[in-house]
Structure 1
């Protein structure tokens, strides 16, 4: 298992850095990303008799950057997609008390084809709020390598996480993204998806993900963009069937997460972000 690298991603305040500290202890090195003052933190973790390198990425909510920190994560995603410094496994740390919002970022990294372990952090707080999550059922629909309940604060579930991490680092299987995309949307972005496949040699799921994102925001951080005419044609076709292109990526991902995250597991006060796009989610193609 020599020279294996694991990247830790997650939303701000998800407990990502707490998990990094649990895994690496004091065996850490802090530097800056090239050209910016954002810290790059790398550590070593012991997995049995082996050591692996752990990279703690800045916290971000999505791959549409609005800050230096988020731009770094988006650029890293692009580097990995292009085969540069690609980690062997990704640990996506999510706040178990705010599951759907946190899994939005996870869903974007699942498109890379790199094994993703979802660490359901803060399970101690989830229990206090009477939130119960069937992690095995969740993963059947999510399609990650595994979903492991943990509490980094109390070191709960860390042995299970390490065991799953060892298995992931030895795995050669590739899990395709399970993101649900209606056929009319697939048809609209198909020329862009084909462009990403031809231009970069990407697999179907990653090319589709990027096609949806570039149709939404008109550019994707770290990637050359297809011809603007392709994007405009897709946006026009989506508009004709009632899909506002500017919210396409969020609409598709939150609708999918609505199906796989049982509503009873999320406190009512945590649903406000989803409620803001209810009108889109109940569209005839999505409902």
Structure 2
């Protein structure tokens, strides 16, 4: 699918067979077009600090993890470092105040978003400018609590800062991923880079605490058919990017750690033993209080099932932002 409307372009070779087509006229959008690449119900993944993917259970079935594996010991280390940063930044008092005011709007930030469309050598795997605009709109609605009266407003908003397109089959298939990300990533720690690729997962994300040691790969990789109007059955409403951006802000899966009190380090997300597939109302996989949070963006539910981040997740993402990205 080619680019539409009159878009100014500049071409440069960034790697073997990689043609860069930089879109400058971001305000020129074409009507949305449905993707017709077939049923690709796929899963989300996350890379380790070196850009390597790790196999594990993932969204929608036995696929892969959508972020690098975090065991209990590392989770404890991360939380110690996080709390130290909070104290250094004098954020502990702010956290307590926010907890005393349930539903209070978090101090927000506007996140610049750079979208990299990784097409194959023949231009296959493209998305329209309209789909990209719709994707940003979906994230803004989801992160502002606009899908449910029970959802928290995280305070984060997203603005499209740039779109570029590359013709490289290897990159389109997410091969040489550390290389292509380092060559194409834009902005600093506060900039969300989204690479649209065709792989066996729904998405892959990096965590904020890994930015300092490997900033070149920071961001999220998303199955291009998961954008609004795409062909990923049950996952084509744009919430894969919401889920992966949640990791990018420092949120774990709601099933992190299984049926434990520590779980995902967020107090208002009930523990669950495993990820959700579909939208099974009333699912309760743990003896700890509360039903499984199947409507939470950090579970593995269908896009149509997702409705919310919690107040605790909003607070954690805000604190992570200040500690690692602000």
TM-score normalised by L of structure 2: 0.24
TM-score normalised by L of structure 1: 0.26
Greater fraction of residues in helix: 1
